Copies of this chain bind each other. A is one copy, B any other.
Amino acid sequence: MNVREASEKDFNEIWPIFHEVVSIGETYAYARDTTKSEALDIWVTTPRKTFVVEEHGRILGTYYIKTNQAGPGSHVCNCGYMVASKARAKGLATAMCEHSQHIAKDLGYKAMQYNLVASTNKGAIKLWTKLGFETVGTLPNAFNHPTKGYVNALIMYKYI
């Protein structure tokens, strides 16, 4: 497993992962019908950096890192992680989360914040908690789940 920085030419391999995750609508606050060009902007162009995880030359996961708030909030970063369904439960999310914390430190951030973790996303909450993230807030009914309706969303935070 190899984590490396992505370039725009990786996007043809990133897009199926993004589309698979986002079209289901259970985890990310992006429109389920986000187009490929919108996704390029969201995942690669707008963030500060984007990374991919490769195995045998195939991209199986990806994450971005960006500044969460400007000015007086700019020492806190935000990341998003996605893993291809065929590559789940192989430790890719853990590898990316740990990698992103090193990158965040290198970039001078002091903390990392996840802004909207659906309370139904038990696997992610368990994993981020294990990796040292604290649930610092609960947003009532802030996530519109495709089958469960409005569910709470957590804000998770870690000093890095």
B157 touching A72 by the CB < 8 A rule? Answer: no
B70 touching A111 by the CB < 8 A rule? Answer: no
Q: How far is the CA of A90 from the CA of B110 in the complex (A)?
A: 38
B113 touching A69 by the CB < 8 A rule? Answer: no
| Cβ-based interface call for A124 (8 A) | no
Q: How far is the CA of A150 from the CA of B109 in the complex (A)?
A: 13
Within 8 Å CB of A144, what residues of B?
A: 71-75
A interface, size bucket: 35 or more
B71 touching A28 by the CB < 8 A rule? Answer: yes
Among candidates B69, B76, B139, residue contacting A76 with C-beta atoms closer than 8 Å: B139
B137 touching A138 by the CB < 8 A rule? Answer: yes
Which residue of chain B has its CB nearest to the CB of A134?
B140
Q: How far is the CA of A63 from the CA of B32 in the complex (A)?
A: 30
Within 8 Å CB of A34, what residues of B?
A: 71
Among candidates B70, B116, B139, B141, residue contacting A29 with C-beta atoms closer than 8 Å: B70
Within 8 Å CB of A73, what residues of B?
A: 29, 116, 142-144, 153
Q: How far is the CA of A145 from the CA of B137 in the complex (A)?
A: 21
A29 touching B155 by the CB < 8 A rule? Answer: no
Within 8 Å CB of A139, what residues of B?
A: 76, 113, 136-137, 155, 157
A140 and B113 contact, Cβ closer than 8 Å, known pairs A25-B71, A29-B71: no
